[in-house]
Chain A
Amino acid sequence: MKISYNLLKSLIDFDLTPDELAFKLTMSGSEVENISVFGPFDPMIKIGLIQEVKNLPDYENLKLCQVDTGGNKLQLLSTAPNIFEGQKVIVAPAGAVINGITVEVKEFGGYRSQGMLVSKQELGYEEKSATIWEVGPNEVPGSQVNDLLGTDYVLELEITPNRPDCLCHLGIAREVGALLGKKLEIPQVQLVETNESACELYRVEIQDPADCPRYACRIIKGLKVHPSSLYLQSLLQSLGTRSINNVVDATNYSNLLLNQPMHAFDLEKLNSRKIIVRRASAGEKINTLDEVERELSGEVLLISTPERPVAIAGIMGGTETEVDSNTTSILLESAYFDPVRVRKGSKFLSLSSESSQRFERGIDPNKVAWAADFCADYLVSVAGGHVLKGIVDHYPRKIEPISIKLRQSKLHSLLGLYIPPNRTIQILESLGFGGVQALGASMDIIRCEAPTFRPDVTRETDLIEEVGRIYGYHEIEPCFRPGGKLSAELPEIFKFSNRAAEYLTNNGYYEITTVAMGTHEDLQPFNPYESLISLANPTSADFECLRPSLKPLMLQTVLYNLKQKIEDIRLFEIGNVYHDPGGKGYNEPLMLCIGICGRRKPLGWTADQEETDLFDLKGDLENLWPKLNTQKVIFKPKQFPFFNPDFSLEILAEDETVGEIGLLSDSIKKHFDIDKKLFLAEINLDKLLKHSLKSISFKEINRMPVTRRDLVIIVDENLPCSKILEAIQGFRGDIFESVELFDFYMGKNVPSGKKSLGFTLTYSNPRRTLTTEEVNDFHNKLSDSVLESFGGILPTKKETM
């Protein structure tokens, strides 16, 4: 909403600069986003009268004009298409300065041009002008533009959707009044009417008062349509409304002043004495003012004569009854249409207008007739003519103001701010609330009526906001008081995932967050379920489905960084994925995804420069489990379509599958255009949490001496090491403590198709010291058992140390 500083000042007296005004409005809820300045203008720029126009035969489009600028005659050259003799225009003679540029005498083809004809663009009133600025016939040649316009400031306000009353100058003037402790005086209208009665000649029929609670019109005859005065044109243009002609401009001016959209029908073209407000029938058509033929439906409310539709109610007029330069009589419509009806019609037609936006938010039903009178009065002043007696006004059921009570105690308790009752009353009155009075001796209860231009105020709490915002929220002192009981613990999953993240960041991983969406093609290979959750209205094909796994987004991130020539990548993401198990609603488990590629260690002088592999990632996870205190987590080979078959394992915690780890398969690599070895793991943190113990229970330290023995065996290369480890750990006996794999070897000295595995076994018993014989005996038994179960052999030659 744009507000003219000068026009506002004509409605309410205030002593604030535009900046001060903007600050006050912003702090009371109407945020000022921008202030623009119009004028001042060079006094040399004047109104001119075109006395003669000559086309120059040698130069297409170029015209030679003789212009009277109040006694002075100037010869000007112009290419403007809309020049004619007798036209009033704006002239900048040579020497005048426009936008910092001095106009100069120019010669062209032997003709001298002593200045220029000015457009709205040049004076800042239009973005781009194709024609010169034609002003109304009443302007006097020689008048200075600066005298007519002066300097004005236009404030651009962001009006919240609950405040339709602030969509006009009168509404903002009321706000300013309230802020300054003044009451706004509503302009009075004293209309001069003829004896001819409008009410006897014209009838209005409203098919359903729910669609149109009020419809009023005035008839004006004998007027003359022409361009508006320079003042009115510049005012409308500066407020973002295109100037059309004096009649249309007068309705728009009234609207910007009072927030009552009005429409003028050409009475002769209307050719009917009956106006019907009715729903359109399906398939019915109308040509609207924007020169589009529109097909209608039962959603759309129409203004119609018995013969044909003439306007779409509250949205846009029709071309057939449009006011043009030959119009002499009009029917001026002022109505209150149902906001929902206008919104539905506007939505159906995909047509939104200045007028429809106002009706949708809600205007004041009780100012409809007054606004029509105001506009009729203004029309006569700018277009001449006379107003017929009486107003045709259909308002079957008056919309009454609502009475509301406000408790001072509640106001105090909600805002944490004490406002004296007298101040409360004053604020409400200055905002236009009626019958404001305090009840009872304590004045705790204040009763008032919410005006019908404030559909947003219906309850006590709404009144509290009104009083509070005018009094000023800056008056509220921040309150620091301790709350009630302190809360319980943070949620387990929050702490759990934070612990995992902390471990990973301390071990060289960066956390990422990704858009949780992707294409069906990218996401589906990672979906554990049949279907993805797709959006009905995605913004682009890239974001058509919700992620069922963090992997595809991890792949995109890795690819992005590879493209930036970053080669060593260690990333993780913790986030929800979205599953549709089919029929039972959606699940949003919290997942952890890790991806690594590149070097094992940072580039350096001693480091192991090998490429990272599965066992780096696996090792980091094996250390993560104790950090999370999870129980019995193991890796078990299992095929996944997105992993390379040789490096593809599932992760189980106490026999429940909680995730998977592996090397990205070649086909997926190709699909995502990644040409490096990438290892991935994804773990369901919700599931893993169930296998995490919340506490640690201390076990007595075994202070007895330990004895270590090595076991090196050669087995088939396809035999999983995990099986041997399991067998060793499962060997019965009370002296076995632990086992570690210390060596893995294939190659020289080991037969082909075989591998050599070296284990260190630790023996101890917490209650006694073991004898060498006892340990040897046990170790031999264990070794024999392992060799037998797995068909292993001992190395032929033992290495010496």
Chain B
Amino acid sequence: MHNEVEITLKEALELLENASSESDILRIKGVYVGKNGKITQLLKLIPTLNADEKPVFGQQVNKAKEKIVEKVESCLEQIKVKRTGSVPDQTLPGRRNWLGSRHPISAMVNQIVEVFYGMGFELAGGPDIETEYYNFDALNTPADHPSRDLNDTFYTKNGMLLRTQTSPVQIRVMKQQEPPVRIIAPGRCYRRDTIDASHHILFTQVEGLFIDREVTLADLKGVLTTFAHRILGPGVKIRFRPHFFPFTEPSVEYDFSCLICQMKGCPVCKGTGWVEISGAGMVDPAVLKEVGYDPEKWQGYAFGMGLERIAMLKYGINDIRLFLENDLRFLKQFNF
């Protein structure tokens, strides 16, 4: 009896070993472990056995069945491999699919949104094609300010313009909403620059604005410090230099300590240990009045930042044109 199980098993395994097609293997499977298969039939003998033999025999039959099923599967797998014409070798590289990733600037936008969102900033936006009012007038820019010039700003044929900064979003939001306001606004901006390694006509800016009753320049320093630490690393230092912008007073330019040389002095920081990032300041009372906020009750800060510049600093990229060239050999370096 037990012997018969062994013989049947051996027979099945031999047949499977020599089977050369998928259909043969499946047929053999049917013959041995199918509904009326040879092994299955053996189980019908169980009632004829005495009590202590029953479980032992049952187990033996089931084991044989398992072995056959296992063998069937491995044979099917081998047939498949043979079909592709390859030799099985487990050191072959795996079957990979294509890899992809975000553009480094989109990735930067997401990281920055995450950092500021965590600090309670809402996300806001506005159109790329703006009016002179939102891009200049409402931001306290004098009517004859050179930045409005045809040499500096792109105008459409019907007198609209391509925004030169994300600051018009400040105005759009404040006109729509009562204070307090706390937003960041990433977006594309355009300037009529000559394209070279550090300038392009298109760049990405993030605008930040916080208006409340007691917001100070010290709060701005705090927020920008947090931003620098989260995006560039915990050791980054920040400093303010007085500057001038029509829409902030006091105005500052803010610098981060140079990541490349750790403030020892290098070409990127021109030997100063500091890299200029962008402008910021306390929102000018004229801007607050323009949107209908009372400057005696409300005050706050605004800041801008150029993302290409920050990405260049973070990754050591030396040419801004790479961001818009979209060379896959460039894009593939940012698989984070």
Contact = CB atoms under 8 A, between A and B. Distances in A.
Given A461-B282, A513-B106, A473 B201 contact: no
A535 B212 contact: no
Interface in B195-223: 195, 200-202, 210, 212, 214, 216-219, 221-222
A468 B125 CA distance: 32
Given A461-B249, A515-B324, A604 B217 contact: no
A162 interface: yes
B188 interface: yes
Nearest to A512: B326
Interface residues of A, number: 89
Interface in A455-495: 456, 459, 461-462, 464-465, 468-469, 473-474, 476-488, 490-491, 494
B226 A514 contact: no
18 contacts: A29-B244, A461-B285, A464-B249, A473-B239, A473-B241, A474-B239, A477-B221, A478-B221, A482-B120, A484-B182, A510-B328, A511-B100, A536-B155, A561-B327, A564-B327, A569-B328, A586-B160, A601-B95
Nearest to B191: A539
Interface of A is mostly: loop
Contacts, number: 236
Interface string A415-430: 1110000000000000
A494 B212 contact: no
Given A469-B242, A478-B225, A570-B100, A607 B95 contact: yes
B201 A539 contact: yes
Nearest to B160: A586
Contact count band on B = 35 or more
B154 interface: yes
Interface string B56-97: 000000000000000000000000000010100000110111
A523 B74 CA distance: 57
Nearest to B254: A473
B150 interface: yes
A508 interface: yes
B134 interface: no
B101 A538 contact: no
Interface of A: 26-29, 31, 160-163, 340, 343, 413-417, 456, 459, 461-462, 464-465, 468-469, 473-474, 476-488, 490-491, 494, 498, 501, 504-517, 533-539, 543, 546, 557, 560-561, 564, 566, 568-571, 574-576, 578, 586, 588, 601-602, 604-607, 801
B219 A479 contact: yes
Closest 5 CB pairs of A and B: A508-B98, A416-B218, A416-B216, A29-B242, A465-B250
Given A478-B222, A511-B103, A535-B157, A413 B327 contact: no
A513 B334 CA distance: 14
Contacts of B119: 483
A10 to B, nearest CB: 26
Contact of B328 (A494, A537, A539, A561): A561
B101 to A, nearest CB: 5
Interface of B is mostly: mixed
Interface of B: 23, 26, 84, 86, 92-93, 95-103, 105-106, 110, 113, 117, 119-123, 125, 127-129, 144, 150-151, 154-157, 160, 162, 180, 182, 188, 192, 194-195, 200-202, 210, 212, 214, 216-219, 221-222, 224-226, 238-244, 249-252, 282, 284-285, 299, 323-329, 331-332
A175 to B, nearest CB: 11
A516 B156 CA distance: 14
Contact of A160 (B110, B123, B216, B243): B243
Contact of B242 (A414, A465, A537): A465
A464 B100 contact: no
A560 B100 contact: no
